[in-house]
Amino acid sequence: MNLGMIFAAAAACAFATPAISQDVPEHIVSLYRAAPGQQVALLKCMARQDQASQAAGLPASQIYVHTSGDSWDYMVINPVTTKAQDDAVEAAAKKMGITSGPRASIEFRTMIASHTDTTSNGPQTAAQILAALGEK
């Protein structure tokens, strides 16, 4: 097998994703590392965002606090939202006097040293994923 075919096969594997049922909700999983001394400010900001989300009829974020291992402080899980839901949260934030729009992003970034976002489907059990794949 030539080198080009090896790279093509590796690329195909890297981009392949299992077929997952459409019924499984999609979520955004974010890992945040707070800027030095900004942990409390970051949590207060997330609490205000949760208030706006709940006022718009969306659930509060699920936040997990780092206790050991990698270098993140908080893992935050939220459902993927529609434009209409985003607009409702934005309107609720404005009504509540919470910073919104582009300024909210700039303000938020002063409280974090780094972050990553990824989408995922779930929650599911291993058995449910195997069933969706046609496996036992």
Tens digits of residue pLDDT in 17-56: 444 455 789 999 999 999 999 999 999 999 999 999 999 9
Beta strands across the sheet bearing 62-65: 62-65, 74-79, 26-34, 112-121
Note the pTM of the prediction, 2 decimals: 0.78
How much helix, strand and coil, in percent to the nearest 5, is found in the chain? 45, 20, 35
Tens digits of residue pLDDT in 78-92: 999 999 999 999 999
